[in-house]
Structure 1
Amino acid sequence: MADPKGFMTTPRQDWPRRPVDERVRDWDEVYVPGALLPIINKQADRCMDCGIPFCHEACPLGNLIPEWNDLVSRDDWRAAADRLHATNNFPEFTGRLCPAPCEAGCVLAINQPAVTIKNVEAAIADRAWELGFAPPRPPDRLSGRTVAVIGSGPTGLAAAQQLTRAGHTVAVFEKDDRLGGLMRYGIPEFKMEKHHLERRIAQMRAEGTKFRTSTAVGRDIGAAELRARYDAVVIATGATAWRELDVPGRELAGIHQAMEYLPLANRVCEGDLDVSPMSAAGKHVVIVGGGDTGADCLGTAVREGAASVTQLDIYAQPGAERDEDTEPWPTYPKIYRLSAAHEEAGTLRTAPAADADARLFAASTLRFTGDAGGRVRSLHLVEVDAERRPVAGTGRTLPADLVLLALGFSGPDRADGLVDQLGLAMEPRGTIARDAGFATSAPGVFAAGDAARGQSLIVWAIAEGRAVAAAVDRHLTGSSRLPAPIGPYDRPMTV
């Protein structure tokens, strides 16, 4: 603990964002480049080095947060990078994309703003790359065992890197033309520039991991054939079966799933397209769904030049402070948060009729109506109470030329045949069933990440990848020294 009084003398200061009118004109990350490093030592000083650090329990990776806070406060970046990478394969991803449940569990957060743990993590990761503290770590010797990992999202990449470093020969199969899963085509560039992803993939190639893109297992290569070629298979395909909105008018043109819309915008940033065929430019956009994916659509539509953008959230607007009775510390509370996209929409007044920024809370979609050509033109909604029952006399109509459904995901998409070809047992909620060792009903086949856990956070995805790697290593060799931060049945802290 470098400064015993740091938490009393230093106020919380977050990584500043670029001015709204500047950042909405490009796709670069929203933060001011270089503005984090000058403030981060003092922010790390705010860590109290608690005797029982609840941030450990709040983070499924078990990140050694007080240790690397202390090292950052002392400018020992090499040691901080070592401690950070000891529990997290990809801290530059989580430092930008994770909602930071660790900060909700910070002891300081009981009565003060939490330590900026997420910012410290991003600073360490970026400095590690800048100073050469993240070199490839190829294994000293090979085991002679082979593993196929299906999916190159955070779970698949974490599992592949751990297994490669353990000495196994690993091939990652990705159905898209580029690696990264949702980090590539689901996460907008303004939240995480893709050079962070490219850098890690280059590191993994140098360590010996093999990659096969544009290969959908179950369609381009048979799942049983793949299983026969490898000693073990890890399914990390994510939960890509999106939820639908079954209301009148859903068949109208101009109503799309968020994950039909976001990849096209990302392909524009990749240089594949000049303009997205679903561009929001000049259109009245309504986003149905109040989560992070909806916010990603919001920020994307603003950058594309939408005439208006409104986001509907079926839940009531949460308060600014934690409700200690229903969501006591150290659980992750549902409070009013202002993402970069919401800040932009609020500043630009993209939805003048919204309750806050661009959001309409406690709003449920009733139906869509369109024009004579069969294109959507209006969305009809009603306010709902806490039980999601319509409130009489609250019906409204919003103009809508483009509607984006961001309602979450139920489990893996079975259209490619992977699940059925392997004969995998499924859970009633649509995810892949597995035992306490991450093994599925098919011998030698393991499942991890959202495909088995259900839709979750990136930090849980990486933890699943690390844990399934330990299970596969044990299956192949009889024992394992790889860390297993979570079990398949572990869940976030709740009341």
Structure 2
Amino acid sequence: MRKATGFMEYQREETMERDPLNRLNDWNEYKAPFSDETLKRQGARCMDCGTPFCQMGDVINGATTGCPIYNLIPEWNDLVFQGRWKEALERLLKTNNFPEFTGRVCPAPCEGSCTLAISDPAVTIKSIERTIIDKGFENGWITPRIPRNRTGKTIAIVGSGPAGLASADQLNQAGHHVTIYERQDRAGGLLMYGIPNMKLEKDVVERRIELLEQEGIDFILNTEVGKDISNEQLQTNFNAVILCIGAQRQRNLHLDGREANGVHFAMDYLTASTKNLLYGDVGGVDSINAEGKDVIVIGGGDTGADCIATALRQDCNSVVQFGKHPKLPSARTDSNMWPEYPNIFTVDYAHKEATERFGEDPRQFCIQTKRFVADQYGNLKEVHTVGMENTKDENSMFVFREIPGTEKVWPAQLVFIAIGFEGPDKRLPLQLGLDTVNGNVKAKYGDFKTNIENLFTAGDARRGQSLIVWAINEGREAARKVDEFLMGSSVLPSYL
């Protein structure tokens, strides 16, 4: 590193954010870019640490540690410090197909395992990554890469989320002809309809899709495999197929009153809200609006936070987020040591907005939902809960127990269930005769072959609900295996 003492001279500067109340008036991204001079200082904080744990890409105690796509973080941090932005972009693109996505929506496990984070705030890796790729587009450095030669091999990819797009990008560059089938009306998967505009504006997604089209990838939209096109057609018309259908089977709450009008899955709400933003009021069952309503979000993760932010922009009357687990500590515990992902209390963008709007953090911890209650017309009117405690049983095992006397009734006309995903939609794997494990399509990591000869799978469909960086990792690795399957060997790079 050319600024060996930068980590001692400069402090971490947090990414600039637009005022929480002002940004509730629009759907634009809430983060504002740093100046070049600020980013130069932040890049200089990257240490000459010898072993860059930030790019290790592993799973420790069930959580991702470091970068699963093995971004060459110290290299492009140093190049940013020197003002060599185009070279920084070249290093970034060696491992990451879509930095404009990861630089916006990845939870940055790289920062949790930054060596500087042992004793000081981590390097602002995510902000630097985003700025590098944004500068690439702004300066015209990102141009279509048209393969010089074509192999004549054809590949169908089912699903256009990050795993499918990464596979397609790699295989197209290897010279194969790639067709992506997407059942929605726009490509991008959860990038388009699962992540709201405030975190990822849709023109950023569409810009990449247009670039991939210019490079030779075909997108077939509004087409559901197994319904609009038969499985037999795929098998006959393509030399190989990759299933990247995600893990969109949402986990449900089987409680009394679940059928009440106003109780929705979180992803249905986020999808409808984005479509409403893109097309205007789509009407019908897809139209879900929180205006003037008391909103409860069940589930403490990122999807729940996105529901809060969306409801606030629709001018809800109130919003509360239920979490089953206790509030996390403000600093790492002895059981959560570096370089593991830090399980500490943080305030997300949506929580800041709700606090500014209503005067308090919307999160309620150790809450168990007991039932939903509807009025005489079947419309949700209230939610019943009870407080929980995490305590040890007679076998010294931690269990959740209800606390007598903590029962409470919450007024609510809308509830969004955001408690995770159980795996991919079962219909297509069942139609194809695919083996499954724990609800996911069965295929070994590093191989990605299913029990059907020319059919592969990658991303959340194979591994279950996970991070965008794992989706890109699996999409790239599956592409390499498909290339080997078709050609006998592969020209594509590998993380393995």
Q: Give the TM-score normalised by the residue count of structure 1.
A: 0.94
Measured after TM superposition, the shift of residue 269 of structure 1 is 1.8
Q: In proportion to residue count, which structure has more strand?
A: 2
2:359 aligned with 1:335: no
Q: Percent identity?
A: 45
Q: Contact between 1:59 and 1:101, CA under 8 Å: does it hold in 2?
A: yes
What SS is found at the alignment partner of 1:475?
helix
The letter for the 1-side match of 2:383 is L
Measured after TM superposition, the shift of residue 393 of structure 1 is 1.5
State how 1:131-142 maps to structure 2 within 5 Å: 131-142=139-150
Q: Contact between 2:147 and 2:175, CA under 8 Å: does it hold in 1?
A: yes
Q: Contact between 1:36 and 1:123, CA under 8 Å: does it hold in 2?
A: no
Aligned to 1:490: none
CA deviation vs aligned residue, 1:105-160 (integer Å, no higher than 9, x gap): 10000000000000010010101111122211121100111100000000000100
The letter for the 2-side match of 1:442 is I
Aligned to 2:40: 41
In structure 2, the CA distance between the partners of 1:36 and 1:349, relative to structure 1 (3 Å rule), is: farther
CA deviation vs aligned residue, 1:415-464 (integer Å, no higher than 9, x gap): xx42122100000x200001341000111100000001000011111111
Unaligned segments of structure 2, at least 5 residues: 57-65, 391-398
Q: Contact between 1:36 and 1:119, CA under 8 Å: does it hold in 2?
A: no
Unaligned segments of structure 1, at least 5 residues: 487-495
Mapped partners of 2:263, 2:92: distance in 1 = 43
State how 1:157-172 maps to structure 2 within 5 Å: 157-172=165-180
Mapped partners of 1:36, 1:258: distance in 2 = 36
Q: Contact between 1:105 and 1:329, CA under 8 Å: does it hold in 2?
A: yes
Measured after TM superposition, the shift of residue 274 of structure 1 is 6.8
2:363 aligned with 1:359: yes
Aligned to 1:281: 291
Aligned to 2:412: 400
Measured after TM superposition, the shift of residue 478 of structure 1 is 0.9
CA deviation vs aligned residue, 1:222-248 (integer Å, no higher than 9, x gap): 112211110000000000111110111
Mapped partners of 1:485, 1:448: distance in 2 = 15
Mapped partners of 2:42, 2:123: distance in 1 = 7
What SS is found at the alignment partner of 2:257?
coil
2:455 aligned with 1:451: no
What SS is found at the alignment partner of 1:389?
strand
State how 1:75-86 maps to structure 2 within 5 Å: 75-86=83-94
Q: Contact between 2:276 and 2:287, CA under 8 Å: does it hold in 1?
A: no
Aligned to 1:28: 28
What SS is found at the alignment partner of 2:157?
strand
Q: Give the TM-score normalised by the residue count of structure 2.
A: 0.94
State how 1:220-235 maps to structure 2 within 5 Å: 220-235=228-243
Mapped partners of 1:217, 1:176: distance in 2 = 11
Aligned to 2:7: 7
Measured after TM superposition, the shift of residue 161 of structure 1 is 0.5
The letter for the 2-side match of 1:156 is G
Mapped partners of 2:177, 2:344: distance in 1 = 45
What SS is found at the alignment partner of 2:421?
coil
What SS is found at the alignment partner of 1:172?
strand
Return 418-427 or 273-282, whichever deviates more: 273-282
Mapped partners of 1:169, 1:301: distance in 2 = 42
The letter for the 2-side match of 1:337 is T
CA deviation vs aligned residue, 1:457-481 (integer Å, no higher than 9, x gap): 1111111111111111111111113
2:357 aligned with 1:348: yes
Mapped partners of 1:364, 1:36: distance in 2 = 45
2:198 aligned with 1:186: no
2:467 aligned with 1:421: no
Q: Contact between 1:224 and 1:421, CA under 8 Å: does it hold in 2?
A: no
What SS is found at the alignment partner of 1:410?
strand
Aligned to 1:476: 486
Measured after TM superposition, the shift of residue 38 of structure 1 is 3.9
Mapped partners of 1:116, 1:279: distance in 2 = 36
Aligned to 2:449: 439
Mapped partners of 2:35, 2:278: distance in 1 = 27
State how 1:90-129 maps to structure 2 within 5 Å: 90-129=98-137
Mapped partners of 1:39, 1:377: distance in 2 = 50
Mapped partners of 2:37, 2:310: distance in 1 = 30
Measured after TM superposition, the shift of residue 484 of structure 1 is 2.6
Mapped partners of 2:116, 2:214: distance in 1 = 41
2:148 aligned with 1:149: no
What SS is found at the alignment partner of 2:264?
strand
Q: Contact between 1:468 and 1:484, CA under 8 Å: does it hold in 2?
A: no
The letter for the 2-side match of 1:403 is V
Q: Contact between 2:240 and 2:455, CA under 8 Å: does it hold in 1?
A: yes
Aligned to 2:471: 461
What SS is found at the alignment partner of 1:377?
strand
Mapped partners of 2:487, 2:204: distance in 1 = 33
What SS is found at the alignment partner of 2:297?
strand
The letter for the 1-side match of 2:373 is T
2:216 aligned with 1:208: yes
Mapped partners of 1:36, 1:244: distance in 2 = 44
Runs of 4+ in 1 over 6 A off after TM superposition: none
Measured after TM superposition, the shift of residue 270 of structure 1 is 0.9
Q: Contact between 2:273 and 2:287, CA under 8 Å: does it hold in 1?
A: no
Aligned to 2:256: 248
2:62 aligned with 1:50: no
What SS is found at the alignment partner of 2:416?
strand
What SS is found at the alignment partner of 1:215?
coil
Measured after TM superposition, the shift of residue 376 of structure 1 is 1.0
The letter for the 1-side match of 2:74 is P
Mapped partners of 2:370, 2:282: distance in 1 = 35
Q: Contact between 1:224 and 1:422, CA under 8 Å: does it hold in 2?
A: no
Aligned to 1:326: 335
Measured after TM superposition, the shift of residue 36 of structure 1 is 4.4
The letter for the 1-side match of 2:406 is T
What SS is found at the alignment partner of 1:179?
coil
Alignment length, in residue pairs? Answer: 476
